[in-house]
């Protein structure tokens, strides 16, 4: 876990948890535990960071429905065949959808460690969002995301109220 993420989010997490559970002593609240550098972990860290600043954020999955079919082979073995039924979400949608300072903010996670690239559908989605006044950001690691966030947004002025509603400690 990034030292920057930990130094910013652990105190906010402890304060938010204490707000939700005031009878629980702060010294016994464990720090955030989102370790690793996988894309999944990066998505979780970004959502937690946004929520800990009092804004709304959620992960979006648009992979569709997995259908598993068991096939009997001639030699007596069985083999599973997985196909996907197309999802109903917008093609190219971002991994994280959030509302920050009243603006629609979409975050596409392309982990620097895995060298992911954006698809044509994702580029079209970004262009559409840009045209409509939304904010689109491609996150490659947590530290650069935090720097971008700090340059563009602030903590919610109604932080306590927002954290009680949105933060899942």
* pLDDT band of 112, cuts 50, 70, 90: confident
What confidence score (pLDDT) does residue 90 get? 86
Angle between helices 159-166 and 39-52 (to 10 degrees): 140
**Cα-based angle 86, 90, 143 (whole degrees, multiple of 5):** 110
Mean predicted lDDT score pLDDT of the chain: 91
- Mean pLDDT for 68-87 is 85
- List pLDDT tens digits, range 14-34: 999 999 999 999 999 998 888
40: Cβ contacts below 8 Å, ≥ 6 apart: none
The dihedral over CA atoms of 16, 22, 26, 28, expressed in degrees to the nearest 10, equals -110
Q: What is the pLDDT of residue 107?
A: 98
Report all structural domains of the chain as residue ranges with CATH numbers, in order of start: 3-166 (3.40.1350)
Around Cβ 75, how many Cβ atoms within 10 Å?
Answer: 5
Q: 130-150, pLDDT tens digit by residue?
A: 999 999 999 999 999 999 999
**Alpha-carbon gap, residue 126 to 20, rounded angstroms:** 36
Give the separation between CA 34 and CA 73, rounded to whole angstroms: 43
Per-residue pLDDT band for 169 (boundaries 50, 70, 90) equals: low
pLDDT per position as a tens digit, 54-74 = 999 999 987 778 888 888 888
Quote the pTM value: 0.86
Query: How large is the average pLDDT for residues 93-101?
Result: 96
pLDDT of residue 93: 93
The DSSP symbol for 86 reads: P
Give the pLDDT confidence score for residue 141 in this predicted structure: 93
């Amino acid at each position: 876990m990034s030292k920057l993420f930990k130094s910013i989010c652990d105190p906010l997490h402890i304060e938010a948890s204490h707000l939700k559970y005031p009878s629980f002593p702060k010294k016994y609240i464990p720090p955030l535990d989102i370790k690793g550098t996988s894309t999944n972990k990066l998505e979780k860290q970004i959502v937690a960071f946004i929520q800990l600043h009092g804004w709304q954020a959620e992960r979006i999955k648009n992979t569709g429905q997995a259908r598993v079919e068991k096939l009997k082979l001639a030699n007596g073995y069985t083999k599973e065949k997985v196909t996907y039924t197309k999802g109903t979400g917008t093609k190219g949608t971002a991994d994280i959808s959030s509302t920050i300072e009243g603006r629609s903010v979409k975050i596409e996670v392309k982990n620097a460690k895995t060298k992911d690239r954006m698809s044509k559908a994702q580029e079209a989605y970004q262009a559409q969002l840009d045209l409509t006044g939304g904010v689109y950001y491609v996150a490659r690691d947590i530290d650069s995301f935090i720097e971008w966030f700090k340059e563009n947004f602030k903590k919610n002025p109604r932080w306590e109220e927002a954290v009680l509603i949105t933060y899942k400690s």
